[in-house]
Amino acid sequence: MKVAVLLAEGFETIEALTTVDIMRRAGVECSTFGTKGIEVTSSHSITIKADKILSEEINSYDVVVLPGGMPGAVNLRDDEKVNEVVGKFYQEGKIVAAICAGPITLGKLGIVNGKNATCYPGFEDQLIGCNYKEELVVVDGNVITGRGPASAIPFAFEILNNILPEKVEQIKKAMLFE
């Protein structure tokens, strides 16, 4: 299983890199994909070097993750290439995960219509037709949503639970998570 984390300018550092960190601790191949280039700056002015630039290669991945952050979440939502990838992953039954303001892309694409979902407070109106939940992490079918920065670790563990469940308790214990 391979996990792709999309990085647009203004991404939320904790949400993106916590997912990468936990996947890699579990031995899952996890790559960051810059949507516009290799160097991407977070919403808190931390510039990182993405592993790859968004390309057709992402189609060989099993999970796509959309971090929040501003303006990162808007940059993801307004990027047609990102919309194509997310829509394709969803249609193919692959896992689509979004946290904080990241689910606004899922709202735009109609992915959360009729589904249970969460997001950062104030963005609910962009999750058109969803059954909004005030929970840290919500799973509905192949869609995983997280509420915000504080839910980054539980969100990443939920992704891991869906792809490599036998590793979850081991990594939680090693990280002193419970």
**Per-residue pLDDT tens digits for 78-113:** 999 999 999 999 999 999 999 999 999 999 999 999
Residue 96, both tokens: 């689509």
Cβ neighbours for 170, distance < 8 A, ≥ 6 positions apart: 26
Q: Please give the full DSSP string across 53-70, using - where no structure is assigned.
A: ESSGGGGG-SEEEE---T
Domains of the chain and CATH, by start: 3-175 (3.40.50.880)
Q: Is the pLDDT of residue 178 over 90?
A: no
**Per-residue pLDDT tens digits for 47-69:** 999 999 999 999 999 999 999 99
